[in-house]
Structure 1
């Protein structure tokens, strides 16, 4: 294959440089603003802070109960991720390995749920949780458990579809070899398929976690002051009298750390999982 010409290489460098500047500029503004006193942020913008301070990173924990919001988001995101991955593994295995009546209808239904905006499900879920609470006494509305179930409605269908595609890429000879050795379907899934599908499972888990971690619409309606998550709790830095922009920037950077760290640690699994899951 011939190497690209000199003009192409220069065009590529210019394009990548512009793309990097476009991507990193907002991040630089966030970091710069988070290190300024509030009066400097509210005044004319300067790229380089005249006064550097770490006080906003200390104040974010007292201006709003950020630690409680962080804990709520962590519990809800981990719970939704664990349930999505666990249920999706069994459902995707059935779709990938078995032919049963209603299989095509089930697959189409799972995919069709991704075409509708989340706001269409907001009112039905709200009324459903209210009726369940009135009839059974189980308070789903305003609880972490209710929010976890809510997030399953849009993370689980995609997880099933993606894992089914990944399971299809695993040779069926492994299933047959396990069957010859006396393994049943469940044993084959746990001992053979799941270890071979680790990249796909990790990709599904990362997707479910990121979706739950940054979700705003359902969290703003389905939570209360006790169960509020980070995506909603960050609004507390805007009061009737003022907006603590330096603390908003600092808090946004802090709450992004778990997602960025997890993505970097699991990047090789994520790329492999998305590549194989897309080939179906």
Structure 2
């Protein structure tokens, strides 16, 4: 297809408009986060008359943001590590091993992505309540309950992604390793996993982002001690006032771990997603 000068101009204009739509809310967040609260309460100005970093200092004392940060880090890290470990084993089994029910299992795993998450909110809460009454294991308001909940959403997609990625790796690599005396588990650890690193990184990033910013289940399955960042941000809005500058500053701080992590693994993430999608 030959691109005419007019088409290039229209494409440039369209991309510029889309970029502004994406960047404008981020600019508003950054500008609001460096304004005094008195300036935020007035009419919005695109350029702050007074720039201050006090909101970034006050966010830690207005609400227990450090505790929320630790809660999110614990839950997200555990959910990500468990999801990746289980997905590696299940995805490798689906890609390499022949067993009865493999095809139906794959379809069931994929079909779980058809249903909205809110559909499982009340059933999970009732199941956790029944488990506490029956065996005395408390899941509501605990790290364990939230980790299990996040696994139910991230694990099916992770299994499907990694099974396609493992299937694209030549079997000859594992067979050569097993001929040399390595077991199948050894071939998986020493040969397959290093080759599948882009796909594993992509799955890990997906699980981390999904758990880090989740709001719906965290609002029901956590309490004051286990509240995560996505729920803790609401604490900047009280019945008397809303600390908009601190809320925006906290939003910037909360976004930094995901942004930095994405920048570090961007190359592996794009390669992994593309390979899994093609397969």
TM-score, normalisation: structure 1: 0.97
Mapped to 2, the partners of 1:51 and 1:131 lie a distance apart of 55
Deviation at 1:129, TM superposition (A): 1.4
Deviations 1:174-195 (A, max 9, x none): 1221221122221111111100
Deviations 1:99-147 (A, max 9, x none): 2111111001101111111112112211221222222222211111111
Aligned residue in 2 for 1:112: 111
Aligned residue in 2 for 1:169: 168
Mapped to 1, the partners of 2:74 and 2:135 lie a distance apart of 24
Aligned length: 279
Aligned residue in 1 for 2:90: 91
Answering whether residue 27 of structure 2 is matched by residue 28 of structure 1, we say: yes
Mapped to 1, the partners of 2:121 and 2:13 lie a distance apart of 45
Instruction: Name the Cα RMSD after superposition.
Output: 1.1
Mapped to 1, the partners of 2:124 and 2:12 lie a distance apart of 49
Aligned residue in 1 for 2:77: 78
Aligned residue in 1 for 2:241: 242
Mapped to 2, the partners of 1:207 and 1:23 lie a distance apart of 21
Deviations 1:243-267 (A, max 9, x none): 1111111100110000000001000
Answering whether residue 88 of structure 2 is matched by residue 64 of structure 1, we say: no
Deviations 1:143-196 (A, max 9, x none): 111110110000000000000111111111112212211222211111111000
SS at 1:11's partner residue?
Answer: helix
Mapped to 2, the partners of 1:190 and 1:49 lie a distance apart of 54
Deviation at 1:7, TM superposition (A): 2.2
TM-score, normalisation: structure 2: 0.97
SS at 1:127's partner residue?
Answer: helix
Aligned residue in 2 for 1:252: 251
Aligned residue in 1 for 2:188: 189
Answering whether residue 272 of structure 2 is matched by residue 273 of structure 1, we say: yes
Q: Which 10-residue stretch deviates more, 11-20 or 196-205? A: 11-20
Aligned residue in 1 for 2:15: 16
Answering whether residue 208 of structure 2 is matched by residue 233 of structure 1, we say: no
Q: Which 10-residue stretch deviates more, 173-182 or 21-30? A: 173-182
Structure 1: runs of 5+ lacking an equivalent: none
Aligned residue in 2 for 1:155: 154
Aligned residue in 1 for 2:134: 135
Deviations 1:206-227 (A, max 9, x none): 0000000000111001100000
Mapped to 2, the partners of 1:79 and 1:15 lie a distance apart of 41
SS at 1:242's partner residue?
Answer: coil
Mapped to 2, the partners of 1:45 and 1:136 lie a distance apart of 55
Mapped to 2, the partners of 1:217 and 1:258 lie a distance apart of 21
Q: Which 10-residue stretch deviates more, 11-20 or 222-231? A: 11-20
SS at 1:221's partner residue?
Answer: helix
Structure 2: runs of 5+ lacking an equivalent: none
Deviation at 1:3, TM superposition (A): 6.2
Q: Which 10-residue stretch deviates more, 35-44 or 153-162? A: 35-44
SS at 1:81's partner residue?
Answer: helix
